[in-house]
Structure 1
Amino acid sequence: MNIDDWKSQVKRGTLELCILSLLSKKDFYGYELIEVLGSWSIVSANENTMYPLLRRLTKEGYLESYWQENNDLPKRKYYHITDLGIRYLTEMTVLWKTLTKSVNDIQNYKEEF
Structure 2
Amino acid sequence: MEEINTEKIRTQMRKGILEMCILSVINKTNEAYVSDLIEALKDADMIVVEGTLYPLLTRLKNADLLAYQWKESTSGPPRKYYVLTDAGKRFLAETVKAWKELEQMIDKLI
CA–CA separation in structure 2 for the residues paired with 1:75 and 1:64 = 16
Provide the TM-score with structure 1 as the length reference.
Answer: 0.88
Distance in 1, matches of 2:95 and 2:27, equals 13
Larger radius of gyration: 1
Give 1:105's aligned amino acid. Answer: K
Q: Deviations over 1:80-102 (max 9, x none)?
A: 00000011011101100000111
Hey, what does 2:107 align to over in structure 1? 104
Structure 2 counterparts to residues 19-98 of structure 1, below 5 A: 19-25=22-28, 26-41=30-45, 43-98=46-101
Equivalent position to 1:9, from 3, 7, 12: 12
1:28-74 CA-to-partner distances (Å, cap 9, x unmatched) read 01121011100122x22101111100000000000001111122332
Give unpaired runs (5+ residues) of structure 1: 108-113
| Number of matched pairs | 106
Shift, 1:4, TM fit = 1.3
Query: Which segments of structure 1 move beyond 3 Å, counting only runs of 4 or more?
Result: none
Instruction: Give me the TM-score of the superposition, normalised by structure 2.
Output: 0.91
Fraction of identical pairs, as percent: 38
Root mean square deviation of aligned Cα? 1.0
User: How far 1:105 sits from its partner (Å)?
Assistant: 1.3
What amino acid is the match of 1:39? D
Unaligned runs of 5+ in 2: none
